[in-house]
Structure 1
Amino acid sequence: MRIVQIPFCFFLLLLFLLIASSAVVAENEKTIRILIGNFYKEFSVSGIGLKVISIEGGKKSSYLFKQNILIINRAKQGLKINKNYVRGNQFIVSSTAGELAINGIAYGGTIALIPKGEQEIQLINEIMLEHYLEGLISLELSPQWDITTMKVQAVVARTYALYQRTINSGNSHHMTSSVLHQLYQGIAHATGTTRRAVKETRGEILTWNGQPIMAVYHSCCGGKTESAVNVWGEDKPYLRGVFCGMCTAYDKYFWKLIIPRGTFYNKLREAGCGNGSGIESVLDIKRTSTKR
């Protein structure tokens, strides 16, 4: 067992590193499902040797396309793919090259298309965990940072992804591609350095009681991190608030939020607190140990 010293401000207090074991390496060989987004207009899927599998009521049908570009729209009972109407509740798009592009943005693995409502199509990228990590590191960190920092990011991002995959195993996707989870914009952002960071930390995750921790992190904490119990209502011994002096130069270290009077009154009414008339001042009656 090794202890990793994080050189920048992660939202972590205790870091327990599990060295590569057969169990962890096996986890790395699995895929992860990332919600790319919800599309309401036509979009393109491009690749070499495109194949679409439609799924309806447990029955699967395969369609091979000679074209390297598919124009996809929502259609009644399924999708319109180029000029073809294809029935199904879910569609899996793959290519013989193992790489696809959605509106020109490259993704590894496969893309699931799930029709929602009358116009919406939900896109989910299923990709090998390690390839996913290679593409996100340079978005979560400056590409100019050193390899040691990127290796730390790889360990934390891998841990977070495995945690989310565990708690969302029964859902259509494990994470989104935004900062709500981890920023991911396909495989084009993978570099030689990010691939090296992922390869040299293969099988390494942060654990608590033998399980991947909820390894949340952020770009700026405002000088103090918050304890998990005050954010999610659940105490996690490895997520306790600490002081941090690493982000004082960040342009969002100080911030303010202006709430229009009408919006404020509406929120009061929604909370059952009258219509807001007659309010002279607003006081905070409770703060956490970090003064939030």
Structure 2
Amino acid sequence: MRGPKRWAVAVRRPSGEMYVTVNTTSTLAQRFPRLNRFPLRGIFVLVDSLVIGIKSLSLSANISLEEPDGEGEGKEEGTKGEAEEGPEEEKKGLGFWEFAIAIVLAVVLFLGLFIVVPTVIAKSLDRYLGNTILYNLFEGGLRITIFVLYLAAMSLLPDLRRVFEYHGAEHKVVHAYEAGGPLTPEFAGRFSTAHMRCGTTFVLVVLVISVLIFSLFGRPALWLRIVERLAIIPLVASISYEIIRMAGKHEHSLVVRVIMAPGLWLQRLTTREPDQEKLEVAIDALNAAMGKQAAADGA
């Protein structure tokens, strides 16, 4: 969970106890205010989110891989002692750089599958697609179709069901916090597993915006087309971030909800109904991120 001043990770150990660590949020945009404006803001927010994501995945994976009766398990949540155990635990399991390499490979896969492949297929059918508008609509539609099929395939994997349940728990708890109610599993459980500011919705917005932006560059040679699309992705991501940001501020607007509805529907593939234990983990993470365990990071 990420708050204005902190980001926190909560993991349930194999023993059943909770591990909570809190870190101070120090984004590039906070350190360099000139970066906190369009179009740079969205790009650097995504970079910061990627770094935090790598650290969180590395930490949570290593905590989850502990032996149930392993030594050195802290009993208190969110203490400095626990937070300082992270590097030692990472040495026993997967390290930061191993996860970083995995993330880089995932980014390469994303660009290859959702940028290069649709571009190559569309180019091979160039003579059948008529004008530039039809061409770009076909390429964009193909890109979105591949993305939806990819998510549908992932949702069928039994090992990912637990991940999707935690994803649903995260959304429910954030809904409960934004509603101003008590942060309890019972109250959070009433809410939807879909959320306006979800990363799934963000990727869909990126794919839709890319159709519009790519249409401005005509139909050059295949190699140049691929280079253009890869080079423009940061701008597309930045515009998409601003759209998600605006939608989050006006999420109760009927117009906004209609526009963002496809993204919310798509989250049915990437979220599942969580049980009480997963809601408890999400609640602990949110409490820590919002400062209710501020002592953990010296605040």
TM-based fold match above 0.5: no
Q: Which has the higher contact order (CA 8 A, sep 6+)?
A: 2
Instruction: Determine which structure has more spread, i.e. the larger CA radius of gyration.
Output: 1
Q: Larger % of helix: which?
A: 2
- Scaled by the length of structure 2, the TM-score of the pair is 0.20
Q: Larger % of strand: which?
A: 1
